[in-house]
């Protein structure tokens, strides 16, 4: 698929500091799929876009995306279906199934919600084992929207598709890049400088366990 937004990609070696945030003790831990449950290297990936002359504040943008992630999600690739929790509001403990083409559906639980961010944790059966956070904040007069994930492949087949065949890696990159673009559109204004994607790979996962 053609993409006109510039993409700037960097791949770096990871370190023990690249593990995911702790899961809140108040969150139900049943069925959580943590990085230690996964296979292969841990990838910490950050997608960043800056919006010039945004109409929304960081709090307003996160509220709108959190109320309905499909406002920003490229629904031809990923549609969020809420299966636990009230419609139109996002709370810790809510659950979604991210519907994707083929056998790719991914169950997630909302781990944490703040005025400027929300974080999801993968559940049993997800292709990945880890967490992903969506956040917005001011940066030098611009609005910055960011997606950051900390994850390993959920099982050996997922690791083969992602790490060796690279198929799901490119699908994932396109999906979250599109999400960032759509969130920027939702904020109003215009993208400043394209999308920055930084990937840090950590093979010694025990270092962050």
pLDDT in tens, 117-170: 999 999 998 888 999 999 999 998 999 999 999 998 855 555 555 555 455 567
C-beta atoms surrounding 42 within 10 Å: 26
Question: CA-CA distance, 77 to 106, in Å (whole number)?
Answer: 12
Span 1-17, average pLDDT: 81
Residue 100 has pLDDT above 60, yes or no: yes
Residue 114 has pLDDT above 60, yes or no: yes
Report yes or no: 177 and 3 within 8 Å, Cβ to Cβ: yes
Of 13, 42, 170, 168, whose CA–CA distance to 103 is shortest? 168
Which segments of 39-94 does DSSP mark as H helices, in order? 58-67
Q: Can you give the pTM of this predicted structure?
A: 0.91
Report yes or no: 14 and 149 within 8 Å, Cβ to Cβ: no
Residue 43 has pLDDT above 80, yes or no: yes
Q: List, in order of start, the domains of the chain with CATH numbers.
A: 29-207 (3.30.530.20)
Residue 99 has pLDDT above 80, yes or no: yes
């Amino acid at each position: 698929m053609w993409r006109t937004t510039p993409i700037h990609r960097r791949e770096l070696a990871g370190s023990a500091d690249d593990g995911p945030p702790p899961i809140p003790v108040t969150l139900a831990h049943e069925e959580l799929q943590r990085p230690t449950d996964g296979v292969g290297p841990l990838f910490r990936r950050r997608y960043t876009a800056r919006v010039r002359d945004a109409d929304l504040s960081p709090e307003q943008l996160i509220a709108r995306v959190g109320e309905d992630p499909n406002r920003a999600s490229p629904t031809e690739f990923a549609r969020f279906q809420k299966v636990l929790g009230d419609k139109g509001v996002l709370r810790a403990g809510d659950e979604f199934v991210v519907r994707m083409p083929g056998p790719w559906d991914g169950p997630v639980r909302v781990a944490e919600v703040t005025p400027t961010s929300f974080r999801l944790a993968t559940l049993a059966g997800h292709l990945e084992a880890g967490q992903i956070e969506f956040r917005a904040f001011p940066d030098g007069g611009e609005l910055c929207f960011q997606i950051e994930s900390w994850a390993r492949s959920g099982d050996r087949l997922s690791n083969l598709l992602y790490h060796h065949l690279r198929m799901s890696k490119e699908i994932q990159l396109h999906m979250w890049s599109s999400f960032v673009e759509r969130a920027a559109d939702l904020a109003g204004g215009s993208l400043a400088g394209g999308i920055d994607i930084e990937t840090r790979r950590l093979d010694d996962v025990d270092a962050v366990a």
